[in-house]
Amino acid sequence: MSINRFLDYITHEKKYSKHTCVAYEKNLTDFRDFCIEHFALENIEDADYSPIRAWIVSLVEMKNSNRTVNRKVSVLRSYYNFLLRTETISISPLKLHRPLKVSKKVNVPFSPEEVDRLLDSDWFAQNYEGILQKTIIGLLYYTGIRRQELIDLKTNAVDFETNSIKVLGKRNKERIIPLLPDAVEYLREYLSLKKELVAPDATHFFCLSSGVKLKEGFVYQTVNHYFSKVSTKAKKSPHMLRHSFATHLLNNGADLNAVKELLGHESVAATQVYTHSSLKRIQEIYAKAHPRGKK
């Protein structure tokens, strides 16, 4: 079946994460079920645009946002592009499709003051879980790594001789991120306590006191819970710490390409998402630096 071939392709050749592959499979299965129920069409590789259009209408009627609908259709587009490359089909049914309009979403990062207020506070319990939670928040902010990258860190990921951390990013792309002294101290304190309380055969750097690998929900709840104490921003998630990391670096004059490498982005275009928050700072620098601006 073409769906299985496509899933094998994104899993083994494209090296998509397990989470992404599961999401792709669900989207394709949902569309196939819709085609069977409404069009008596079992092989979605034979679909034209009609069932796709009907599926989009049904998704909108089910109160899915335009952004969500576009994401689901994007999975279909990837699938049909795969069929084109493998010469299974000669034309994509989505060739003339245009995405639904979406309003530009701007997420406001945490301010440096909010981060300082939290990391300098005494809200973290002086036990294993408290030290673990503080280290999680600290490392997310000091390095800008993704939540899944933090969860997947191995026990040998941190090099205290070079004060750096080895991260395995999307598509198994490895990168080295330098650590500031404060981040090193967080990691040393956590690791010292971990060696005392956790089973020595724990394979992941971060784990619960039982030695079990962290779950995505634990990391999210940790960030959300503690930032609720210092911030009234609507979104308080691990990704917002990554957003804050990038924005604060750019606000302080960091080179865009350097930030791109730290974040593990494939292109500068992905990093430029974070420059909107730096626009005011960029305008100030521009006004001060330009000969006519000085007047």
Active site residues: 146, 170, 239, 242, 265, 274
Q: Which residues lie closer than 8 Å to 106 by C-beta, 6 or more apart?
A: 276, 277
Do 277 and 246 meet the contact criterion of CB atoms below 8 Å apart? no
Rg of the chain, C-alpha, whole Å: 23
Dihedral sign (CA 282, 287, 289, 290): positive
The set of residues, in sequence order, having a beta carbon less than 8 Å from that of 99 and lying 6+ positions away, is 70, 73
Contact 228, 236 (CB under 8 A): yes
Alpha helix ranges (H) inside 201-278: 216-227, 238-251, 256-263, 268-271
